[in-house]
Structure 1
Amino acid sequence: MTDSPTDDSNRRTRTLVPLEILEGESVPAGLVDLLEPTDVTVLGYHVLPEQTPPDQARLQYEDRATDALEDLAREFGAEEGTADYRLVFTHDAEQTIERVAADTGAGVYAITGATGPIDRLLVTLTSDVAVERIVSFVAELIGDREIGVTLFLATDDESAGRELLETAAGPLSERGIDVRTQLSLEEPPLEALIDAAADHDAVVMGEQAPSLRTLVFGEAAERVAAESFGPVLVVRRLEGEGEGEGEAADTPLLSDGSEE
């Protein structure tokens, strides 16, 4: 099992790639290439009707789902030891993704989208998400590849916004990465982000604590992925980071990877 990410610079980030494996959901080649510097766990899940026991579904679908997952894991480098997979039959997809992310020590999860070669990433920053960890992940992801970055921030505080963007751009520029900044002051933050994403091949953003708005309108990352059609990489928040009222703690994964 992979350990949780730490500040150890020799340790690669693990990315969780959740897929509705029996619905034919696939991974675009551009995302496979983009995630090459990270270790990958492909999570194949299938959401069951409430009355269907997971063990019954496993007997019916496990072989077909496993074949598909093995093929995907090979694309991500299973033979080189940089990828593996999990198969879960569940009644709650969101809870399953959180459990497996915690169990595997994944620092990032991916919403697959559709894309070809990745030439430029949109990296969105907010005041309540750890900017340093996001920038560190982006630097690891790009490495020495010719992939540009646009740092994006929506705020009503122009001075603080520009300062945050300049601070975040510094470490990336020092690595020779082509960095641009974009500050949105007028448009509502999520709408501004969706508009900006249209001109980029993929989006990197931080995971935010649940709020009434996300419960009503859906997670921001899901909305960005749905409206931009490209992949979205979400840097998971650490325990205690960005916590809000009503936030639930992670629940440990059962030992066999199945749901109760």
Structure 2
Amino acid sequence: MSDRDVIRRFRDKSLLPSKYGYRLDERVIELPWVLARLNRAETMLLDAGSALNHDYLLSHEALERKTLVIVTLAPEQTFPSPSVSYLYGDLRKTIIKSDCFDEIVSISTLEHVGMNNTLLYTKDQAFDESSPLDFEAVIVELKRLLKPGGRLFITVPYGVYENHGWLQQFDRAMVERVQRVFDGSSAEVSYYRYNEDGWNISTAEACADCRYFDIHRKSDYDPDYAAAARAVACLELVK
């Protein structure tokens, strides 16, 4: 995350180095993609899903001027600071006032909404669900929380639609549905794909056949050593 050349490549949508992220999961794409796009000014930032809740990320230069609110389903490790606050609850309906945030980040979170979150994220059996369309409620809620002109950054695993119980992989129709439900002033989508040469920028068409490697269902890796998703869709939506 400290490699300025890599951050520049994500900002410019240029090719990544050979073997970039080989045998690593999609966070190696999602995190620098978001960091490359965040405004460097003083802004109110919401992390919807707590993907940024790591010391090395909270101290990154992209976040140093932010007032950050982290919302996640259940208590986890915290890194208290005057500029970082934590809130626990359901993203489908938060207690936060409207038009509050300049920027919102939701990294690999939508695919878990309405699914069985008791496998990894909470012991509360109320969140052992099977409501795959509930991600739409989160989109509506996050738009409500954004200031006019604010930006929402979303990443999801992408390819063939798959329902793994604890998450679902988005396909093209679902990505288009996200944009339609948000109904903002502009939308931009970037795609990245994993193969035996690591991760690199791609297209929706080239990623359409990608399958998710579910470590909770398999006892060994596939020949390409994919760690989880083999493609991700990265959306920048403006209210």
TM-score scaled by structure 2?
A: 0.38
Decide which structure has the larger Cα Rg and report it. Answer: 1
Q: Which has the higher helix share?
A: 1
Q: Which has the higher strand share?
A: 2
TM-score scaled by structure 1?
A: 0.36
